[in-house]
Amino acid sequence: MIVRTHPSLFVPAVGVLLAAVVFTACVAPTDPDTPRRRIADPAPFFLRTIDLSEYDEGFDVQALEDGGFIIVGRTWMQHTTSKDVLLLRIDADGQTKWMKTFGGVYTDEGYSVNQTTDGGFILTGMTESYTNGNSDVWLIKTDAGGNMQWSKSFGGTGLDSGQDVIECSSGGYLVAGYGQLSFAGRLYAVLIRTDELGSEIWKKTYGLSERDLFTSVIEAEDGGFVVAGSTETGDNGSTVLWLQKVDATGEIGAQGWSQFVDGPNSKSAFQLIRSTSGTFGIIGYTTSPGSENSSLLFLRTDVTGDMMVETQPQQNAIGTGIAATSEGGFIVCGYTDPLGFDGSDIILMKLDADGGLVWKREIGGTRMDRAHSVCAVADGSFVLTGTTQSYGSGDQDLLILKTDANGMFEE
């Protein structure tokens, strides 16, 4: 910038000096190491919403190596008047990098996602658009940009759904969920092992009651699998939380075991994780006989599924997501008032290794707010996803919440 003065204009020397000082203060620093701040830097801890339709919901979130996150869920498609799988990649500040939808003319939803060793993503859920019956397990593989590489559906003539998927250390994928031979038949728990292209290697069913299902799976250190779910084999006819260990071929065999967490109340598991000490943490809910109200349920077991801790840290609530913290404890999410819908608030709580409450946050407005999944980030922060009506458009928006190590954020 060149500053010119008129030749006839008299400017005292002091005035020139002051002008130079003011001008120097207004320009950018010349030292490249001088810290700079944008007028509106994004908050490092935030609550954001994604408003694509009347029904947007995130069911699973995972942290990525680049500091961002991948979220899978569902959204409403106006042109087909049906729900589609939504796959969303965001950066560390919660800004959208890309967004993809998958589906047909009927309901299709995504419940679980993980990044694969090739940088892409594997996700599972259910499809009514590409099915042999009412619904099928849907398995989708994408590249790093979220573009579908292939998809496979598995199921009979009844209701089938994939609830969790992992990439196996030996290659290929394992899906945990449930199936039904016919629409009027019983629900059975199912594991489906595929190769890298989604072709079925084996499929095994488990359970003997009228309603058996798996909701979460992790790979064991010996190459087998540990799964969590529920069964109705309780002595009082109630639902029993179920832990099952199988070998690499899906057989119980010599390496397997079954554990049932029974009692006077019904118990169900949503998610199973391995802590930093190698024990298992399970989150879900429990319901008293004759009551519709449930309590958030936390369990910790040893590597053989034997009970170590059982607590109910929140009444009138359910637990939906759990992750291990670096200190050996757990971060847990869920929501209150599961039957009230409009009255639901998000629950985020940190537990120590014995299930003791470190802190708890209830987050929500005057309408429905729910969390379905939470992940722990390497910097000590936490990210969760779900759905909200209190924040955003007022419809059901997809929720992204990132908090600091104490569960705090900026609205």
Q: What is the pLDDT of residues 346-390, one digit of tens each?
A: 999 999 999 999 999 999 999 999 999 999 999 999 999 999 999
Please report whether residue 409 resides in a domain.
Answer: no
Please report whether residue 3 resides in a domain.
Answer: no
Burial class (CB in 10 A: 0-12, 13-18, 19+), 271: buried
Cα–Cα distances in Å, from 299 out to 70, 113, 183, 282?
Answer: 27, 24, 33, 5
Q: Is the pLDDT of residue 404 over 80?
A: yes
Place of tokens 């847990």: 332
Q: Which domain holds residue 201?
A: 48-403
- Calpha distance 321→166 (Å, rounded): 16
Please report whether residue 37 resides in a domain.
Answer: no
State how far Cα 308 lies from the chain centre. Answer: 25
Name the pairing type of β-strands 46-50 and 57-63.
unpaired
Determine the pLDDT at residue 263: 85
Please report whether residue 30 resides in a domain.
Answer: no
Please report whether residue 326 resides in a domain.
Answer: yes
First to last CA, the chain: 41
The residue type at 330: F
Burial 281-315 (b: 16+ CB within 10 A, else e): bbbbbbbeeeeeebbbbbbbbeeebeeeebbbbbe
Closest residue by Cα to residue 276 from 348, 347, 352:
352
CATH at residue 216: 2.130.10.10
Please report whether residue 368 resides in a domain.
Answer: yes
Please report whether residue 266 resides in a domain.
Answer: yes
Could you give the 3-state DSSP secondary structure of residue 269?
Answer: strand
Tokens of 211: 């309603």
Count how many domains the chain has: 1
Please report whether residue 38 resides in a domain.
Answer: no
- Residue 238 pLDDT class (50, 70, 90 cuts): confident
Mean pLDDT over all residues of the chain? 89
Q: What is the pLDDT of residues 144-188, one digit of tens each?
A: 999 999 999 999 889 999 999 999 999 999 999 999 987 778 999
